[in-house]
């Protein structure tokens, strides 16, 4: 049986001479990929044929690194594709990361394609009208490097309530 370790999120602050730890509480249910991407306009579709060929052999929620060596060799899998994943619409999204030369990323669960920038923005909690300039891979890299707006909002609200003691 697989043992799951619970992650503990701790925020630490120095107030005067004291160091204070506090533990933010979850503030709601997890949002699935399918729920998050409901009614989003996809935008420009891009991606390499190798990634899309691998998609055919992946199940929803599967990472390309778990495919057989035969399939990996046939479709040119390489170490840059370590985070290539076919999303599961019934689960939360894995972390959006900065990618190298378009080799990795998040694949749609129903259509053989990468997620588009508007879809990635939605998963990262950016507003739908958020404008980004640059090439598609540059935009994805910015999203992969970003701190999610709703995450920062939750942290700021917790600091205000728990450390600064404001309601």
Q: For residue 87, is it within any domain?
A: yes
For residue 48, is it within any domain? yes
Specify the number of domains making up the chain.
1
Q: Residue 18, SS3?
A: strand
Residue 42, domain CATH? 3.90.120.10
pTM of the full predicted structure? Answer: 0.79
d(CA 105, CA 50) in angstroms, rounded, equals: 12
The answer to whether residue 12 sits within a structural domain is no
Report yes or no on 121 lying in a domain: yes
Taken in order 30, 34, 39, 44, is the CA torsion positive or negative?
positive
Tens of pLDDT, residue by residue, the chain (167 residues): 455 455 555 667 676 777 766 666 676 778 999 999 999 888 777 766 777 888 899 999 999 889 999 998 898 887 777 788 999 999 999 988 887 555 568 899 998 888 889 999 999 999 999 999 998 888 988 998 998 898 888 888 888 887 777 65
Enclosing domain of residue 133: 33-150
The contacts of residue 146 (CB under 8 Å, 6+ apart) are 124, 126
- For residue 126, is it within any domain? yes
How far, in Å, CA of 61 to CA of 149, rounded? Answer: 25
Query: Has residue 15 been placed in a domain?
Result: no
Please enumerate in sequence order all residues whose Cβ is within 8 A of that of 89, keeping only pairs 6 or more positions apart, or say none.
32, 33, 34, 37, 60, 109, 110
Please check whether residue 22 lies inside any domain of the structure: no
Distance CA 77, CA 84 (A): 10
């Amino acid at each position: 049986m697989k043992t799951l370790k619970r992650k503990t999120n701790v925020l630490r602050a120095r107030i005067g001479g004291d160091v204070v730890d506090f533990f933010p509480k979850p503030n709601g249910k997890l949002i699935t990929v399918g729920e998050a991407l409901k009614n989003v306009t996809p935008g420009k579709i891009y991606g390499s044929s190798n990634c899309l060929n691998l998609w055919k052999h992946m199940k929803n929620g599967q990472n390309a690194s778990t495919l057989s060596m035969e399939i990996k060799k046939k479709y040119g899998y390489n170490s840059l594709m370590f985070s290539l994943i076919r999303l599961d619409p019934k689960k939360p999204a894995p972390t959006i990361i900065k990618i190298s030369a378009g080799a990795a990323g998040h694949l749609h669960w129903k259509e053989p394609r990468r997620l588009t920038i508007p879809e990635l923005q939605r998963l990262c909690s950016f507003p739908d009208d958020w404008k980004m300039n640059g090439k598609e891979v540059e935009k994805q890299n910015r999203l992969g490097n970003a701190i999610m707006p709703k995450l920062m909002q939750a942290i700021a609200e917790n600091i205000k309530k728990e450390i600064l003691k404001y309601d």
